[in-house]
Structure 1
Amino acid sequence: MSEQKSTPVANNQEDFSPRKFIIQLQEIAGVIRKKILYILLTGVLFSLAIWVYYSFKKVQYHAEITFALDEGAAPQGRSTMQTLGEELGMNTGTMEAGGVFSNVKNIMELLQSRMLVEKTLRSELVLKGKPTTYADFFLDSLDYREEWLKGKAPVHFRKGQDSLKNKQDSIPENMILQRMHDIITKKFITIGTKGSGTTIVSVSLKTSNELFSKHFLEALMNEVTRYYIETRTQRSKLTLAYIQKRVDSMRNVFSGTLASRAVMADANINPGRQAAIVPGQKKETDIQILKNVYTELFNSLESARTNLMRNTPLFQYLDMPILPLKTTHSSKMKYALVFFLLGLFVSSAWFTGSFIYQKIMRS
């Protein structure tokens, strides 16, 4: 029994011997030598195919904008004006406005948001003396109108139309805008920082139309800048408007009190009794109180203006796209060599696999 059990082990050791493995390698090498012409031909065909593909591929135009963001200085301490503003239910400087967006990464996300991309696509530009929208410019200049709307009703976009508020009235336009947004954010636009550890943001757009690359990137950047500044300064603007309204109201009351005192003084030029002096003294007291309140409110107004200026971010543009744009040419020779080697590998693997399969089936 022990001899019978040891036989399979010996057979397994013989099956996986180094000598047999080397013989198999020699057999595979012989197959590759026999099929060398077919293998080389496959590599040449792969190389020619990729060469033809890149020969007909359109040139890509690369527009780039680089900028640095200045968020402004942080508020310095507390003052009497800020305390008064808080007592009036306002904030004139102790809270930074728009903190939800106070981050460069958030700006990078805004550049890819559908809302801002769609607003840019619906904005207008003048092309060859005729007004058009960037959405129509996208469809016509990049040859998507024929691809997407062939056999369908013609679609033309109107300036300023907000499809997010008119979903039922513009479903076809919404679908096209969604596809435009996906292509722009996933294929055309690239967002990053210049170097590691820097806050300089680089936004680039690469398409097959030079004018679209340049003008759309500039329009998108303007839309994002406007939205970001409005969001960051919204709280400060509301505070400033509120204080301005209080200052105007207090000025009117103060002016009316001064006029009333003057009228009363004219009516009592030579008062014969002390009781006639009392109303004038009350008016004088009111004037002093209103003067102090008005002075503090005016100081708070100046503080709110300073706070608005401090909270307004500044976009410092370093590079803007200038015609002619930089073009991106694919290296046909490099890709031809890579695909030639790939063809050699694929064909060799095919012939080797076929040889092994046939050998297994014969055994």
Structure 2
Amino acid sequence: MDKPETTEPDELSLKDVLLKYKLVVKYLKTKILIIAVFGVLGGALGLTYAFIKKPVYTATCTFVLDEGKAGGGLSQVAGLASLAGIDLGGATGGGGVFQGDNIMELYKSRNMIEKVLLSEITVNNNKQLLIDRYIKVLGLRRKWKQDDIDTINFQGASGSFSRKQDSIITDIAKTINKKVLKISKPDKKLTIIEVDISFVDEIFAKEFNDKLVTTVNDFYIKTKTKKTLTNVNILQRQADSVKNVLNNSLGGVASSIDAIPNANPLQTILKVPSQRKQIDVQASSAIYAEIVKNLELSKITLRQEAPLIQVIDNPVLPLVVTKIGKIAAAIIGLFLGAFLTSLVLATKKLFGN
């Protein structure tokens, strides 16, 4: 029985490729007018885009972050203090709520962005919320008319906002994170952090950058030192309370002595009231001394733990602006239109019927 014939696909040789190339080039030469027309059309579209496209303003703030050292030089003091029954709180600890690059993620949190959006700015002697300026610049209220939410406002406390208001803020925060906000470290070996806000409105970009940096950095410092600061406040109240007791005890001793100025030495019972008051004074003095010691050590710990955030450069007007040139846009559109037209015609010639 004869074996079935097998057909192998024809392999394109270099000669065939060159022939097809010449054929396509020759064909495109006959369509040069069409290519030119679509090239000019592409150039016109590019020029139109350059006129329509709004320039983007970028506000940049750079600051250096020096993390507070929870242990540092106090580690040995804290160890000795613990033997004496003194608790220095975070002095012996090595970690904190935020470490390293976590502050960069804090900048992207919805809570921080919401606080900034709901903050008030003054433009041309008129006060307005940043979120209202954002909505006005992008013309969002026109888009919201079909949903009957074009009259919504964001006055008042955020805790009393409706579900729709919270939803809008969440959407805006996501958009800002994705398209407006950029947090970076120019050099990973350094502790310099750069915050960029890029937006089509120059005032919004600058004000949002200023308020975001202030809001996040203040929150970071307060949270970083919250535990030790609470300990300091407690010790301060205890010190004030014991001091009042000590002052009252000293007054009691003086009153007891004054009550019997010339007491009979043989009647020792007369000395008991003043001796009791003196014991109270001695006990209160010892307690007060220990509390004051703990208080001062806790204050040192607080200063050690407090991170240092020093702004290097603040955004200043006029901001850096990014926009596409009209000539460049027209040239890019021209070449893009001609290229795409040529590609379509060549594909049709090679694979068309």
- TM-score over 0.5 for the alignment? yes
Structure 1 spans left out of the alignment, 5+ residues: none
Q: Does the Cα contact within 8 Å between 1:84 and 1:300 map onto a contact in 2?
A: no
Counterpart of 2:198 in structure 1 is 206
- Alpha-carbon shift at residue 298 of structure 1 (Å): 0.8
Counterpart of 2:59 in structure 1 is 63
Q: Does the Cα contact within 8 Å between 1:82 and 1:93 map onto a contact in 2?
A: no
Counterpart of 1:93 in structure 2 is 91
Counterpart of 2:153 in structure 1 is 156
Please give the alpha-carbon distance, in whole angstroms, between the structure 2 residues aligned to 1:42 and 1:286: 100
**AA at the equivalent of 2:350:** I
Please give the alpha-carbon distance, in whole angstroms, between the structure 2 residues aligned to 1:86 and 1:243: 17
Q: How does 1:33-44 map to 2 (within 5 A)?
A: 33-44=29-40
Please give the alpha-carbon distance, in whole angstroms, between the structure 2 residues aligned to 1:285 and 1:116: 55
Match 1:51 to one of 38, 47, 56: 47
Mark the CA change 1:343 to 1:130 in structure 2 (over 3 Å): closer, same or farther. Answer: closer
- Alpha-carbon shift at residue 231 of structure 1 (Å): 0.9
Q: Does the Cα contact within 8 Å between 2:88 and 2:298 map onto a contact in 1?
A: no
Provide the alpha-carbon RMSD of the alignment.
Answer: 2.9
Mark the CA change 1:130 to 1:335 in structure 2 (over 3 Å): closer, same or farther. Answer: closer
Q: TM-score, normalised on structure 1?
A: 0.84
- Alpha-carbon shift at residue 262 of structure 1 (Å): 2.0
Counterpart of 2:133 in structure 1 is 137
Q: Does the Cα contact within 8 Å between 2:88 and 2:297 map onto a contact in 1?
A: no
- Alpha-carbon shift at residue 18 of structure 1 (Å): 4.1
Q: Does the Cα contact within 8 Å between 2:78 and 2:92 map onto a contact in 1?
A: no
Q: How does 1:168-183 map to 2 (within 5 A)?
A: 170-183=162-175
Mark the CA change 1:332 to 1:31 in structure 2 (over 3 Å): closer, same or farther. Answer: same
Q: Which moved more, 1:184-193 or 1:264-273?
A: 264-273
Counterpart of 2:302 in structure 1 is 308
The number of aligned residues is 348
Counterpart of 1:120 in structure 2 is 116
Counterpart of 1:264 in structure 2 is 256
Please give the alpha-carbon distance, in whole angstroms, between the structure 2 residues aligned to 1:257 and 1:81: 34
**AA at the equivalent of 2:212:** L
Q: Which moved more, 1:232-241 or 1:321-330?
A: 321-330
Mark the CA change 1:323 to 1:21 in structure 2 (over 3 Å): closer, same or farther. Answer: closer
Match 1:226 to one of 214, 218, 225: 218
SS in 1 for 2:91: coil
Counterpart of 1:25 in structure 2 is 21
- Alpha-carbon shift at residue 51 of structure 1 (Å): 1.9
SS in 2 for 1:316: strand
SS in 1 for 2:195: strand
**AA at the equivalent of 2:171:** R
Q: Does the Cα contact within 8 Å between 2:79 and 2:92 map onto a contact in 1?
A: no
Q: Which moved more, 1:107-116 or 1:170-179?
A: 170-179
SS in 2 for 1:318: strand
Q: Does the Cα contact within 8 Å between 1:64 and 1:320 map onto a contact in 2?
A: yes
Counterpart of 1:326 in structure 2 is 320
- Alpha-carbon shift at residue 80 of structure 1 (Å): 7.0
- Alpha-carbon shift at residue 68 of structure 1 (Å): 0.9
- Alpha-carbon shift at residue 146 of structure 1 (Å): 2.5
**AA at the equivalent of 2:51:** S
- Alpha-carbon shift at residue 201 of structure 1 (Å): 1.1
Match 2:337 to one of 329, 343, 357: 343
Please give the alpha-carbon distance, in whole angstroms, between the structure 2 residues aligned to 1:113 and 1:201: 17
Match 1:83 to one of 56, 81, 84: 81
Q: Does the Cα contact within 8 Å between 1:69 and 1:315 map onto a contact in 2?
A: yes
Per-residue CA deviations over 1:323-362 (Å, capped at 9, x if unaligned) read: 222222223444444443333332222112212233xx4x
Please give the alpha-carbon distance, in whole angstroms, between the structure 1 residues aligned to 2:306 and 2:80: 19
Q: Does the Cα contact within 8 Å between 1:261 and 1:284 map onto a contact in 2?
A: yes
Asked whether 1:357 is paired with 2:337, we answer: no
Mark the CA change 1:2 to 1:197 in structure 2 (over 3 Å): closer, same or farther. Answer: farther
Q: Does the Cα contact within 8 Å between 2:88 and 2:294 map onto a contact in 1?
A: no
- Alpha-carbon shift at residue 89 of structure 1 (Å): 6.2
Match 1:294 to one of 288, 298, 312: 288
- Alpha-carbon shift at residue 217 of structure 1 (Å): 1.5
**AA at the equivalent of 1:41:** V
- Alpha-carbon shift at residue 69 of structure 1 (Å): 1.4
**AA at the equivalent of 2:325:** S
Please give the alpha-carbon distance, in whole angstroms, between the structure 2 residues aligned to 1:107 and 1:297: 35
Structure 2 spans left out of the alignment, 5+ residues: none
